[in-house]
Structure 1
Amino acid sequence: MANLSTYIAFLGNAKEAFTHYQDVFGGELQLMSYGDFPPMEGMPFTPDPDTIAHAQLDLDGGTITGGDAMPGEDYVVQGSIYSLLYTLDDVDKARELIQKLVDAGGSIQMPFEPAPWGATYGQVFDKFGVMWSFDVPA
């Protein structure tokens, strides 16, 4: 069965980010550090055993995956070129999730309100710089 999921590379704080996402959204979290794996031949670097090689959060309606970026990579996380779109069927639930992200240090990018196309829509940056778009169809 095919499945498409989002993958986010964090700059050394993937464990904190994914634990936060589980606190906000619920779901089942799996974390694997490089220390959980046997030595990997041919790796172009020696990974810190405490960094996250792979994280997966299975939540209602989707999966978020990610890990810590490779040494020397300095991805810019915050930006509006991408966002995670979470479509829900309950305006109050969407407001609750947005508020949890804001209360934890996030910021509103676009207020969650009725949109011209009939849905209720808004955007928020979480404390890690990831943009979340929330959509509740009419």
Structure 2
Amino acid sequence: MGFKQAPYIMLDGRATEALAFYQNILGGETTITHYRDLPIDGMGGDPDWVMHGQLEVGGGVTIMVADGEQQRSADNPKVVICLYGDDRDELEGFFRGLSEGGSRSMPFEKAPWGSWFGEVIDPFGVTWMLEGGGDEQG
């Protein structure tokens, strides 16, 4: 029996914006359930906030996002996500897109272990590692 792994990004009122940002860069299809769509007695949260959002991207990649009242900060990342694969150009495009409005912690360049690697912090404070491509590209 196999299983999948999906990052779950917790935000404070910006989940819809984050899903649109990631979809613009990675493609795929989103589904969103707002707090108002599934009212539960005693549950906090703004009715317009995302209770559960999901982006399904080709190749089995899934990103989940939700809004909540938990305290978050840029110094305490919500998650770290690693995107990896064989296509260096595709990964470099993701690197450029994810860093727009954010920052680049490590440039996307040839790593000592032979593949390409870079790290960015996107506009939502989420750290992304991008790795792959190997010796055959670049």
User: Which string of whole-angstrom CA distances, capped at 9 and with x for unpartnered residues, describes residues 73-115 of structure 1?
Assistant: 2122455795200002111111111111223x02111011111
* Alignment length (residue pairs): 132
Listed as ranges, the gaps of 5+ residues in structure 1 are none
> Which one-letter code corresponds to 1:40 in the other structure?
I
Which of the numbers 46, 53, 56 marks the counterpart of 1:55? 53
For 2:122, the equivalent position in structure 1 comes to 126
Which of the numbers 107, 111, 131 marks the counterpart of 1:111? 107
Distance 1:112 1:67 in 2: 29
Distance 1:90 1:24 in 2: 15
> Which one-letter code corresponds to 2:129 in the other structure?
S
Listed as ranges, the gaps of 5+ residues in structure 2 are none
Structure 2 contact 8–64 (Cα < 8 Å) conserved: yes
Cα root mean square deviation, aligned: 1.9
Distance 1:97 1:13 in 2: 20
Secondary structure of the residue that 2:62 maps to in structure 1?
Answer: strand
Distance 1:18 1:120 in 2: 26
Which of the numbers 71, 74, 77 marks the counterpart of 1:74? 71
Distance 1:135 1:82 in 2: 17
Q: TM-score, normalised by structure 2?
A: 0.86
Q: 1:67 to 1:77 in 2, by over 3 A?
A: farther
Secondary structure of the residue that 2:112 maps to in structure 1?
Answer: coil
Distance 1:55 1:82 in 2: 16
Q: TM-score, normalised by structure 1?
A: 0.86
> Which one-letter code corresponds to 2:21 in the other structure?
H
Secondary structure of the residue that 1:113 maps to in structure 2?
Answer: strand
